[in-house]
Amino acid sequence: MIAGSYYLTPTSDNFFQLIPLKKILYSKESKYQKIEVVETNKGIALILDGLVQIHEDDEYIYHESLIHPTLVSVDHPRSALIVGGGDGCAARELLKDVDIKEITLVDLDKDVIEVSKKFLKKINEGSLENKKVKVVVGDGRKFLEKTRNKYDIIVIDATDPIPSGPSLLLYSRQFYEIVKSKLEDGGAFVTQATVFGSNQYTRIYSTVKKVFGSAICSHSFVKSFGDDWGFVMATKSGKIETREKDEVELWIKSKLRKTPKYLNGETYAANFSIPNEVRKKIEKGSKIIEDSEALRAKTSEASGVWAFEK
Ligand code: SAM
């Protein structure tokens, strides 16, 4: 929401942040969501339904944390599927891996894709027009249900499961079962999983673990999301473990076309370090998310807008 010369956006619980606004570059209600592209004091931001999706200032922390730990866990990944990711930044990171030959990106909203081609080209480095990237407009779940293809990497880079949002059914046991069936042997899966340590996060973790046999938590602080952001990773085989720092450094040198801005052996290890309070929560386990009662962010009583519980 625009508040004078600031953009006001909810983060978690009843927390909000005010981002200094320079210019509104685009604002339109699409078939699925309100799309805004704004220029802030720290660069361009894409905002959907009032929530920051990417901000030039620190989007690389989110995207490198989402993509590279997943890539490093697969030997010679050739194919990748992104569900969501219409901004093109997850595809940009996948394209840095010398082994990746083809990426399919399925985003529901053609307007997000068009807007990202126009306003975010410098940020996504033209990934949406790269010949290795096939862009499909459609629902990611329906696409996965129908496709006969299998992928080495499947990434869920969708909007948060906000009430009546288009991504609710991308965070459930039934959906993760479809994902698992479309992974190649040796393949890996990662999903963005909302605010690290929140009840939603631990429910996503428990649900992924139930389907894949085991799962691993990671997180990195993304200032523009106003919080420590969570990810959950799993593999088709059910075995998943983190790599040693040196191994990650070596992988970066030998497999990536460009040195990451955020990720190295140390930050990789930091992403996988879990504080005791979260460890306790995930060890205890949370309620599995079923399609019939898809995960919902709670509407905050104080502010009247949705918010994630912590
Ligand atoms: N980095 C982001 C974040 O978590 O804040 C995600 C960014 S990306 C722009 C999110 C995309 O998910 C949006 O473009 C939206 O259209 C897409 N999306 C939401 N539900 C979807 C669905 N069911 N199938 C495919 N794409 C979906």
Q: Is the pLDDT of residue 305 over 90?
A: no
Nearest atom in ligand 1 to 33's CA: 16
Question: pLDDT category, 4, cuts 50, 70, 90?
Answer: confident
Residue 298 lies in a domain: no
| Shared-domain flag, residues 47 and 116 | no
Q: How far is the CA of 246 from the centre of ligand 1 (A)?
A: 33
Same domain, 180 and 222: yes
Q: Are residues 170 and 105 in the same domain?
A: yes
| pLDDT of residue 308 exceeding 80 | no
Average pLDDT over residues 171-199: 96
In this structure, of 17-21, 118-122, 186-190, the range with the lowest mean pLDDT score is 17-21
Closest protein CA for atom 15 of ligand 1: 84
What is the per-residue pLDDT across 72-106, written as a single tens digit (0 to 9) for each?
A: 999 999 999 999 999 999 999 999 999 999 999 99
Asked if residue 134 is part of any domain, the answer here is: yes
Residues 150 and 51 in one domain: no
User: Is a pLDDT exceeding 50 seen at residue 299?
Assistant: no
Q: E strands of the chain, at which residues? A: 2-3, 6-10, 16-29, 34-40, 43-48, 51-55, 79-84, 102-107, 133-137, 151-157, 183-195, 216-222, 227-235, 298-299, 306-307
Q: Is residue 35 domain-shared with residue 91, that is, in the same domain? A: no
My answer on whether 39 and 94 are in the same domain is: no
Q: Is residue 308 part of a domain?
A: no
Q: Are residues 101 and 210 in the same domain?
A: yes
Tens of pLDDT along 138-153? 999 999 999 999 999 9
| Same domain membership, residue 212 and residue 172 | yes
- Distance of alpha carbon 264 from alpha carbon 246, whole angstroms: 9
List, chain by chain if needed, residues with CB within 6 Å of any ligand 1 atom. 48, 53-54, 62, 83-87, 106-109, 112, 139-141, 157-159, 166-167, 170, 192
On whether both 252 and 133 belong to a single domain, the answer is yes
Which residue in 157, 227, 228, 291 is the catalytic one? 157
AA identity, residue 175: F
Q: Which atom of ligand 1 is nearest to the CA of 140?
A: 24
CATH code, domain with 20: 2.30.140.10
Distance 149 CA to ligand 1 centre (A): 21
pLDDT at 202 over 80: yes
Is 149 inside a domain boundary?
yes
Mean pLDDT in residue range 251-255: 97
Q: What residues make up the domain containing 45?
A: 2-55
Q: What is the pLDDT of residue 296?
A: 52
CATH number (domain holding residue 73): 3.40.50.150
- Strand, coil or helix: 11: coil
pLDDT higher than threshold 70 for residue 273: yes
Q: Are 63 and 130 part of one and the same domain?
A: yes
The answer to whether residue 109 is catalytic is: no
* One-letter amino acid for residue 99 of the chain: D
- 302 pLDDT higher than 80: no
Query: Separation of 162 CA from ligand 1 center, angstroms?
Result: 11
**Statement to judge: residues 143 and 241 lie in one domain:** yes
Query: Do 146 and 159 fall into the same domain?
Result: yes
Calculate how far, in angstroms, residue 170's C-alpha sits from the geometric centre of ligand 1.
Answer: 10
Do the domain assignments include residue 187? yes
Is the pLDDT confidence value at 27 over 90?
A: yes
Number of domain units in the chain: 2
Residue 306, domain member (yes or no): no
List pLDDT tens digits, range 221-252: 999 998 999 999 999 999 998 999 999 999 99
